[in-house]
Structure 1
Amino acid sequence: MATSASSSPISSSLGVHAIGTAALRGAVAGVVASLVMAMYAMIAAATYQHTGFFTPLYHIASTFIAPDAMMSSMMAAGSGSTFTFEFGPAVLGAVIHMMVGAMYGAMFAVIARMARLHGVALIVSAVVWGAVVFAVSAWIGLPLAAAIFGGGDPIADMASMVGYPTFLGEHLLFGGALGLLLAARPGTR
């Protein structure tokens, strides 16, 4: 009895190519959805949080670098300068955020493909996925990343520092954007 990749349950029912295509489309949609999420976070930081427009990017970057840019941005915002910009930490934060968005987008797209979700069910499921990503990030992923990469409390406690309602809202927007993007693309069903 020979076994091959084509005889596995996933490859026989959906095809390895279909799963790979779903993962790629999900990764691209995840990057775009992460940008929607980031814009909301940055607008929240500049407006009702009063911590500085670019602070969310610096906050994410502090996974790998000292939180100096984040702290400087927050202090400047407290003094009325909402748009303090530091190129390196901003780019690092954006790249990290988009990579994580790509990963979660790919994971969801594969799950959605295997479950054969489409239309409203796909979009609603993606919003629920955003809530799952919120919970995993807040209580597992971020504390783990802080421990592994030395990000400390700014990373481990990111959800509470940002505020749970805002952090949840960001992730629901991520899920909604992800679902809309995947539902709008032919071949993701």
Structure 2
Amino acid sequence: MSSTTSTQVEIKAGFGRTLIVGAVAGVIGSLVMAMFAMMAAATYQHTGFFTPLYHIGSLLLDPSTMMASMEQGMAGSNFYFVFGPAVVGALIHMMVGAMYGVLFAVIVRMAKLRGMMLLLAGMIYGAVVFAVSAWVGLPLAATIFSAGDPITNMASMVGYPTFLVEHIMFGVATAFALLPFTRNRSA
């Protein structure tokens, strides 16, 4: 095998690893984001701990579980739980997190970000993901899946400040998960 071909194989293998590492980092970021969203929903929003999962799940499912959870939360019962819609919401959230994680890992690799610059980039990336999600991704997904207002208006329903903080936490957690892989430049 020539040295050029060997280098091309190494680059492709490195890029493939970047995609996998990015997906895993994005799932980790989505889990951190979800935990904050769920704590916010159970505390100062008074809408119920599992409501964020049902809200996301309403992309594919009837929003009645989300509404029931919100009603229970407002009545003081924070832990209304329905397995199916919770799992659907969690899976959708982690899949979207994986997608955004892959994109971020590619950016990190191309820009050769490391250390504090990587974490700062994660914070900025989270803010960008917030804007893209709130004003493009969610309305588009609502149209494609005929999901209506719960998805179209998710950012305003959650509250823009909380939605922004959730996404910044996603970006920072994703960046933090990528840190070990940037030391030897494989992500």
TM-score, normalising length: structure 2: 0.92
Can you give the 5+ residue segments of structure 2 that lack an aligned partner in the other structure?
A: none
Verify: 1:100 aligned to 2:96, yes or no: yes
Amino acid at match of 1:92: V
* RMSD after superposition: 1.4
Question: Partner residue of 2:142?
Answer: 146
Report what 2:85 is aligned to.
89
Q: Distance in 2 between matches of 1:18 and 1:117?
A: 16
Aligned equivalents of 1:110, 1:23: Cα separation in 2:
7
Show the 5 A alignment for 1:56-95. 56-95=52-91
Q: Structure 1 length normalisation: TM-score?
A: 0.91
Q: Work out the percentage of aligned pairs sharing the same amino acid.
A: 60
Task: Choose the corresponding residue for 1:124, options 116, 120, 123.
Answer: 120
Secondary structure of the residue aligned to 2:28 is: helix
Give distance in 2, aligned partners of 1:56 and 1:31. 16
State the Cα distance separating 1:127 from its structure 2 match: 1.1
Are 2:129 and 1:133 aligned? yes
Cα distance between partner residues in 2 of 1:46 and 1:139 = 26
Question: In the aligned structure 2, how far is the partner of 1:19 from the partner of 1:106?
Answer: 11
Which among 160, 175, 179 is matched to residue 179 of structure 1? 175
1:16 deviation in Å? 1.9
Partner of 1:54: 50
- Looking at structure 2, the residues matched to 48 and 167 of structure 1 have their Cα atoms a distance apart, in angstroms, of 14
Gaps of 5+ in 1: 1-5
1:80-110 CA-partner distances (Å, limit 9, x unpaired): 1110000000000000000000000011001
Aligned to 2:26: 30
Q: In structure 2, what residue type is equivalent to 1:155?
A: I
Cα offset, 1:184, TM superposition:
2.6
Task: Please state how far the C-alpha of 1:126 moved relative to its aligned partner.
Answer: 1.2
The aligned counterpart of 1:165 is 161
For residue 15 of structure 1, what is the aligned residue in structure 2? 11
**Cα distance in structure 2, aligned partners of 1:19 and 1:168:** 30
